[in-house]
Structure 1
Amino acid sequence: MSATRVFVARLAGCTVFDPAGDRLGKVRDVLVVYRKSDPPRVVGLIVEIPGRRRVFVSIGRVTSISSGQIITTGLINVRRFEQRGGEVRVIAELLGRTVVFSDGTGQATIEDVAIEEFGPGEWAVAQLFVRRPKTSSSPFAKGATVFAHWNDVREKTAVGQAQSAEQLIATYSDLKPADLANTLLDLPQARMLEVAEELPDDRLADVLEEMPESEQVEILSQLDDDRAADVLDQMQPDDAADLIAQLSEERGEHLLELMQPEEADDVRMLLAYAPDTAGGLMTTEPIIVSADATVAEGLALIRRHELAPALGAAICVTLPPYEPPTGRFLGMVHFQRMLRYPPHERLGTILDQGLEPVTADTSAAVVSRILASYNLVSVPVVDDNHRLVGVVTIDDVLDYLLPDDWRSNDSDDDAPERVPNRTPTRAQPGAPRLVNRGRRTSNGTS
């Protein structure tokens, strides 16, 4: 393996292969340990393998590192990664820290870290890419960027001072909400809350929808009421209802009062249904049109990129009004059926007559059987007056059927012990705390 220098932020998301070229997973972070005088030593990579499980890959098992791919010996252990005392995650914990130049020329913020191979299987931090404070008052101005050797700077972290989360958010900007949620759950608790507070409302809403309920409540409790209400407005009504149901009655009602009236009304309606019924599982935001709408209009509606795939699979046709609870429900038209007709065809003439809606009090078990029996991705829900009140989608049902701890991936009991290729076991920082959907330790591992 030839001498190589790579920047850690560029490694995030890189594919990890075995010697045969088979894909093992993706890099999520680089793990280093500090040394007394020398730059931090790289001990391994944190790799996400299929199933969204994070595992540790010793740097000694890596045969090649580049900014595009990682090659390993193929011998990795799939036991869930657990961070040990003295170890630091470069992306999650080091980027964004403030450093002070030893020559007295000021301070800067770490934006990237270069690691370099100094011997077979021996990697260490080579340089820091840092940004000095801006010197102009212009909102568009940025500070100058420079390279610095590790020994030329020292970290500046005052007691109680939070590290900047902006760099971490930028590094993970391309992650899907489920992957970003998993990344945050792997962070130390204080860091997770800090990053969550920095996320935009819509991004945080997407992430919360992918988290266990206990973590949702924990994060929401750190937000002021106005911000919490704004985030709830951005969530799917069924997810917002599930979250509010976990709060105290007093705070839940206060947040509902602060939410947008239309969003709050949808959530209140969902809270009225038992969680194991179609009403408790459904979402109140399907695509709803009149019978006179055309195929072209229907296809235009399902092309919206912000629409969840399951909701875009079919269009509901009703009499006015077209907001739940609607006028009388007439039927659904699946997008594949629309593709078989000319653009000017009226949707009212091509309804799927074989699909019967369920009522809001239909049990979740019955809804599950209907979706499975007829190979559906959604089923309409009506009230006693046959008015459409929502749809239950396949992801709603899967969330109900899967074990409570599925989001935390805490199913590693039969996984082999990790190969002891690191320093002897050290005491784990923090004590374990209970989590509603599984168990996480206070340092973010599961």
Structure 2
Amino acid sequence: MPGPIFVSRVARLPLLDADGHPLGRVDDVVVVPAGAEPARVLGLVATVQRRRIFVNEARLGSIEASGVRLRSGTIDVQPFSQRGGEKLVLGDIHGTKVGDAFIVDVAMEESARTGFWFVVAVALGGRGPLRRRRTEVVEWGDVAAHFDTGPEYAEVAELRGMHQSDVAERIRALPPAKRRRLAELMEDDRLADLLEELPEDEQIGLLSGLDLERAAHVLEEMEPDDAVDLLGEMSEAERQRLLEAMPPEDSTPLRRLLAYAEDTAGGLMTPEPIVLRGSATVAEALATVRDPDRPMELAAQVFVVQPPTSTPTGRFIGSVPFQRLLREPPATRLEECAHADPEPVPPELPLRDVAERLAAYDALAVPVCDAAHRLVGAVTVDDVLDHVLPPGWRRRRRPHLTGEGG
């Protein structure tokens, strides 16, 4: 649905999987007020198999009259538990008195820039004897003061609008107790972004302050190669506890990566590059790389394989860089424009050789294939830089573009 969507139109809609099959029913919307700024939508509360569960906003695909459709994958059926600072639209916000009126509905809208959902407006009306009064729609900022959650949540809201590297710099300057408190209050996806910008020892310090279920959820939100680097710094017992707390579809790729040495292609790679069948078209590939949830370094090229397309895939055919996609007719099949350069590397290839392969081909990513020529992942330039830069480089203050640091 284009434009703002009122929660009253979402509540009680069917919750559908990516193929349109019903999973349950939407009950409510979870938001975090952020002062006068639009409140961030964290996700939905839904009833699935007689359980009230939380569905992360990142899993939402489309909201239509037929139901709320998920992007892909499965959902966590652990019971929903409301955290401090979170508000349920129907359970907490609906019915709040504002002047001589009451909040009777809340409108949310997807940001075209970030892809996140925010509360942008509320509808004010009457209740009881006043229910016939005319409904008035006002901006969220006009009623935000009624949902003030205190200075700590205001600070989290401020961090939400910053680049994750700047958030990491801000967090590192705080006392340990304040760091842990802000980590507790941050949304899982933002905390995952923050952890990816910190050295492993500081990642562990923040993650250890969370309960097991929350820590597992944050790891699920991290890029797999970053999550594996973090798990590799933990004791075997702690690593297994976290992996066992994850759904199998999230833990299995991590277990596979942990089987490789850290300084090899297998230890560096991500198991979730963009992978499509050879029969897919250029138009389909472009639609896939436009997904705002795709990291930019992975959206630079598409890897083409025979089915299946989840790693380890069918036989690897080749890759198509993003610029090549832009130059091809939309109906062109990917198998017609895929090429074999750079050649795939084996998972056991040492880090130095992987870096040389990337440099030799001026490539942003190189495919990793097993002995059966099945794609098992891809190593990006970003992955290599994280391992070749000197230890502690993340602790150094980034020079500002205004001239600081030369």
TM range (shorter): 0.5 to 0.7
- CA 1:342–1:411 in 2, change beyond 3 Å: closer, same or farther? closer
SS of the aligned residue for 2:184 comes to helix
Matched, 1:290 2:284: no
Matched, 1:304 2:285: no
Contact 2:156–2:182 (8 Å) recurs in 1: yes
Q: Deviations along 1:353-402, whole A, 9 cap, x unmatched? A: 33211000011101111111211110000111111000000100000110
Match of 1:194 in 2: 181
> C-alpha displacement at 1:197, in angstroms?
0.9
Q: Partners in 2 of 1:183 and 1:225 — Cα distance?
A: 26
Match of 1:269 in 2: 256
- CA 1:350–1:385 in 2, change beyond 3 Å: closer, same or farther? same
Identity of aligned pairs, percent?
A: 46
Select the residue among 210, 227, 230 that pairs with 2:214. 227
Q: Partners in 2 of 1:178 and 1:250 — Cα distance?
A: 31
Q: Partners in 2 of 1:410 and 1:142 — Cα distance?
A: 35
Select the residue among 366, 369, 387 that pairs with 1:379. 366
Match of 1:13 in 2: none
SS of the aligned residue for 1:304 comes to coil
Contact 2:160–2:190 (8 Å) recurs in 1: no
Select the residue among 325, 342, 350 that pairs with 1:355. 342
Q: Partners in 1 of 2:328 and 2:398 — Cα distance?
A: 47
Match of 1:364 in 2: 351
Match of 1:423 in 2: none
Q: Which entry has the higher C-alpha Rg, 1 or 2?
A: 1
Match of 1:251 in 2: 238
- CA 1:346–1:189 in 2, change beyond 3 Å: closer, same or farther? same
Structure 1, unmatched stretches of 5+, are 1-8, 11-95, 97-139, 147-162, 413-446
Q: Deviations along 1:66-122, whole A, 9 cap, x unmatched? A: xxxxxxxxxxxxxxxxxxxxxxxxxxxxxx9xxxxxxxxxxxxxxxxxxxxxxxxxx
> C-alpha displacement at 1:410, in angstroms?
6.8
Superposition misfits of 4+ residues, deviation over 6 angstroms: none
> C-alpha displacement at 1:144, in angstroms?
6.3
Match of 1:170 in 2: 157
SS of the aligned residue for 2:367 comes to strand
Structure having the larger proportion of residues in helix: 2
Q: Partners in 2 of 1:145 and 1:368 — Cα distance?
A: 51
Matched, 1:203 2:190: yes
Match of 2:169 in 1: 182
- CA 1:145–1:319 in 2, change beyond 3 Å: closer, same or farther? closer
Q: Partners in 2 of 1:220 and 1:309 — Cα distance?
A: 26
SS of the aligned residue for 2:198 comes to coil
Q: Deviations along 1:17-49, whole A, 9 cap, x unmatched? A: xxxxxxxxxxxxxxxxxxxxxxxxxxxxxxxxx
Q: Deviations along 1:121-164, whole A, 9 cap, x unmatched? A: xxxxxxxxxxxxxxxxxxx9765699xxxxxxxxxxxxxxxx85
Q: Partners in 2 of 1:371 and 1:335 — Cα distance?
A: 16
Q: Partners in 1 of 2:394 and 2:327 — Cα distance?
A: 38
What is the TM-score when the length of structure 2 is the normalising length?
0.61
Q: Partners in 1 of 2:250 and 2:192 — Cα distance?
A: 14
> C-alpha displacement at 1:179, in angstroms?
1.4
Q: Partners in 1 of 2:201 and 2:342 — Cα distance?
A: 37
Q: Deviations along 1:245-270, whole A, 9 cap, x unmatched? A: 11121111011011121110010011
SS of the aligned residue for 1:331 comes to strand
Q: Partners in 2 of 1:218 and 1:253 — Cα distance?
A: 18
SS of the aligned residue for 2:155 comes to helix
Contact 2:169–2:397 (8 Å) recurs in 1: no
Question: Between Structure 1 and Structure 2, how many residues are aligned?
Answer: 260
Q: Partners in 2 of 1:363 and 1:274 — Cα distance?
A: 9
Q: Deviations along 1:258-302, whole A, 9 cap, x unmatched? A: 112111001001100000000000001101111000000000000
- CA 1:164–1:290 in 2, change beyond 3 Å: closer, same or farther? same
* Counterpart residue identity of residue 347, structure 2: A
* Counterpart residue identity of residue 321, structure 1: P
Please show how residues 26-65 of structure 1 align to structure 2 within 5 Å.
none
Q: Which sits farther off after the overlay, 234-243 or 272-281?
A: 234-243
* Counterpart residue identity of residue 210, structure 1: E
Contact 2:319–2:341 (8 Å) recurs in 1: no
Contact 2:312–2:375 (8 Å) recurs in 1: yes
> C-alpha displacement at 1:172, in angstroms?
2.1
* Counterpart residue identity of residue 396, structure 1: D
- CA 1:411–1:319 in 2, change beyond 3 Å: closer, same or farther? closer
Q: Partners in 2 of 1:253 and 1:144 — Cα distance?
A: 44
Q: Which sits farther off after the overlay, 402-411 or 289-298?
A: 402-411
Match of 1:331 in 2: 318
Q: Partners in 1 of 2:192 and 2:329 — Cα distance?
A: 38
What is the TM-score when the length of structure 1 is the normalising length?
0.56
Q: Which sits farther off after the overlay, 223-232 or 182-191?
A: 182-191
Contact 1:233–1:260 (8 Å) recurs in 2: no
> C-alpha displacement at 1:183, in angstroms?
1.2
* Counterpart residue identity of residue 179, structure 1: D
Please show how residues 8-23 of structure 1 align to structure 2 within 5 Å.
none
Q: What is the alpha-carbon root mean square deviation over aligned residues?
A: 2.4
Q: Partners in 2 of 1:253 and 1:377 — Cα distance?
A: 33
Please show how residues 135-146 of structure 1 align to structure 2 within 5 Å.
none
Matched, 1:397 2:361: no
Contact 1:178–1:207 (8 Å) recurs in 2: yes
* Counterpart residue identity of residue 386, structure 2: D
* Counterpart residue identity of residue 191, structure 1: K
